[in-house]
Structure 1
Amino acid sequence: MADRSRRRRIRRALLAALVAFAVAVPVSGAARPAAVPAPAPTVLGPLRDASPAALAQRYAVSRQDIRAAGRAATDHGDLKRAASLRAMAAPGRQFMSFDGRDGGRSVEVVGELPSARRIAVLVPGAGVGLDTYGRLRRDATALQRELGPGGAVVVWLGYRSPATVSTTVLTAERAAEAAPGLRALVDGVRAVRPAARISLLCHSYGSVICARSAPGTAADALVFYGSPGVGVEDVSGLRTGARVWAGRGGEDWIAHVPHLRVRVPFVATVGFGADPVAEGFGAEVFDAGDGGHSDYLLRGSRSLTSLARIVDGAEPLEVSR
């Protein structure tokens, strides 16, 4: 009992240090740059038709919106943002929606959604935005190639991702804001591809969003990887009929984040509770290899193989004991 109490105090101290670090670094750094302006996007209705013609029209409209945002970024003098947007607007890219305002929102399809039998929805974590979108696209492409014909990847950047080092990343505030949008996206994909197998692949802070959207989800599988916790103490708290998986790379620093939820007076509840890969959580644990926090979808990795197998509805690589 004494050992358990001591461990709890140590973990609370570590979490307190993490909170202090998250507060001190942004405050002591330089002022945030001014937001990059972007025009309001074309209003597109919910996804109701996944025919090639209907999707081609959505993709064309979104490409126009991306190019308009790129021109605004150039006029603003943000050449990095403009270059990123030029890449996103390239021929062959397939965005179902795009909004360049307030940090940016987008939904991109890699693969052919009209014929997809297996669909992975990628939900990214902290520190992801329009300026770093290339890495997310790289990961989605690697996964789609691993899935092969009949597999499609939907890249959902549907929320204002918190900075990796910030107080925001320690709370569920952004996740609560984002969850309805993710649920709507999955519902839309299910409506237009009712026979397809849909898997939510939730990385890092993205796993908190997926957990918030889990009750009654239309997805067949929830996959948490590189997760700081998901805001519930075990699988039953997710209130979902989806199969729940969890994995963590051997070199992922997230393993050292205390898995607690602590109320900080006058601030918020920080931390996300139980570790999804812990035996007591109740998720099925897959082999995520030895990679780091950003390595789960690297080509040739064990984690990519496991994730693709889960999306396929097959058993992933087993964890070595």
Structure 2
Amino acid sequence: MAPTRTSAGRAGRAGRAGRAVRRLRRTLLAVLVMSAVVVPVAAAAARPRIPAPAPAALAPVTASTLEEAYAANGANAAEAARMAADSGDSTRAAADRAMADTSRHFLSFDGRGPGQAVEVLGDLAEADRVAVLVPGSDTTLETYDRFRAGALSLHGHLGPRTAVVAWLGYEAPRTVSTTVLTTARADDAAPRLKGFIRELRGVLGEEASVSLLCHSYGTVVCARAARGLDVDDIALVGSPGTGADSVAALHTPARVWAARGAGDWIADVPHARVDLFGTTVGFGADPVSPDFGARVFAAGGVGHSDYFTPGSVSLDNLARIVLGDTSEVTRA
């Protein structure tokens, strides 16, 4: 008897899943070999740990204490710049010094290790709509400017009574590492992101809308934090997978969006999970696949690092999501 359409469909999906798992195993083997060569060499060449002060000790921020927080974190960044310069690290000193500029507004700053920083663009206390950007791998204080450039681009696209928060509130994995293949860093980051959103809600007015815009490995962070998170929208761009099989598995009342540019190499990453040496690697379902259940929107031809490029289809649609113009978002 000929197979039914349903059984044939199941067989097709099973075949695709099997191929994805095999591709993922090959990818993992390549990354493990690369890591075995590159990571030790990089570690040997790395500079000594950069001295920096502990983060400023601050009470939870409110609308009335924003300026106090900005001043304290700016002073901390200035001291971090001085200590980095004294240690001979001119690159980190320059990055810290730029963040210490009095025109910059940080809700938190930590110059230790790879560094963490949470910066506000716009008037947070008066904002009706806020976008929180969560970056992916290889984002540190030294590379922060390229992350900030995307935040600036989005903020310039939004108009009055809006704010953008560039949230580098976790230690992002390196792209060339085994860490980037697991949810470990995201699991560590998720409670911090949840705590930040709670604090942010304490600053904003009751009717303010918050959108979480997550890029690359940052989509894994957002997915791990999504359960019960008080945000209106979650947008996943350039995602390798989230560790969840569907929107339902995120357990969020937020609208969940997803996009991938035609020029994004992440499309070639196998969307599967496998157990390797007792560790689960890979992130499973592709967020732009129909089975995942996200609202898939157009991103045009952008590459992996270009979703916030001025004039791009992806930036236009992300701005519409933040502004609540959901009916105007162009679908893929």
TM-score (norm 2): 0.91
Instruction: Check if 1:120 corresponds to 2:131.
Output: yes
Match for residue 49 of structure 2? Answer: 35
**Per-residue CA distance 1:106-135 (angstroms, 9 max, x = gap):** 111001101101100010010001001111
Of 55, 60, 63, 2:66 maps to: 55
1:276 is matched with: 287
Q: CA deviation at 1:256?
A: 0.5
Note closer, same or farther for the CA distance 1:12–1:298 as it changes in structure 2 (3 Å cut): closer
1:246 corresponds in structure 2 to 258
Q: Distance in 1 between matches of 2:245 and 2:192?
A: 24
Q: Which of 172, 183, 197 is equivalent to 2:194?
A: 183
CA RMSD, Structure 1 to Structure 2 (Å): 1.6
CA shift for structure 1 position 189:
1.2
Instruction: Judge which range, 255-264 or 35-44, deviates more.
Output: 35-44
Which residue does the alignment assign to 1:286? 297
Q: Is the 8 A contact 1:14 1:258 kept in 2?
A: no
Deviation string 1:286-307 (CA, Å, 9 cap, x unpaired) is: 1111111110111111111110
SS in 2 for 1:55: helix
Q: Distance in 2 between matches of 1:152 and 1:85?
A: 23
Q: Compute the displacement of 1:6 (Å).
A: 5.5
Q: d(CA) in 2 for partners of 1:88 and 1:118?
A: 24
The alpha-carbon deviation at position 148 of structure 1 amounts to: 1.0
Corresponding position of 2:267: 255
CA distance in 2, matches of 1:301, 1:24: 38
Shift of 1:104: 1.0
The one of 36, 59, 77 aligned to 1:45: 59
> Alpha-carbon deviations, 1:245-277, whole Å to 9, x = none?
0001111111100001111114x2111110000
Residue 8 of structure 1 and its aligned partner are, at CA, apart by 4.2
Conserved 8 A contact 1:19-1:170:
no
Aligned-residue offset at 1:18? 4.3
Q: Paired residue for 2:325, among 298, 306, 314? A: 314
Check the 8 A contact 2:261/2:304 in 1, yes or no: yes
Check 1:64–1:254 CA distance in 2 against 1; reply closer, same or farther (3 A cut). Answer: same
**Farther-moved stretch of structure 1 (188-197 vs 294-303):** 188-197
Q: Which residue of 2 aligns with 1:209?
A: 221
Partner of 1:11: 23
- Whether 2:170 is the aligned partner of 1:159: answer yes
Native 8 Å contact 2:24 2:269 kept in 1? no
2:152 aligned partner: 141
> In the aligned structure 1, how far is the partner of 2:212 from the partner of 2:24?
31
* The 10-residue stretch of structure 1 (3-12 or 194-203) with the greater mean CA deviation from structure 2: 3-12
Residue 171 of structure 1 is matched in structure 2 by 182
Q: 2: distance between equivalents of 1:166 and 1:8? A: 21
Residue matched to 1:67: 78
Could you tell me the percent identity over the aligned residues? 51
Q: Could you tell me which runs of 5 or more consecutive residues in structure 2 were left unpaired when the two chains were aligned.
A: 1-10
**Equivalent residue letter for 1:273:** G
Give, in angstroms, the shift of residue 9 of structure 1: 5.2
Counterpart residue type for residue 221 of structure 2 = I
Question: In structure 1, the residue corresponding to 2:257 is in which secondary structure?
Answer: strand
Which amino acid is 2:55 matched to? P
Contact 1:35 1:103 in 2 (8 A): no
For residues 9 and 212 of structure 1, the distance between their equivalents in structure 2, rounded to whole angstroms, comes to 22
- Report the CA distance between 1:22 and its aligned residue: 4.8
Q: How far is 1:21 from its partner? A: 4.6
- Please, what TM-score do these two structures have when normalized by structure 1? 0.94
Aligned residues: 316
Which one has the largest radius of gyration? 2
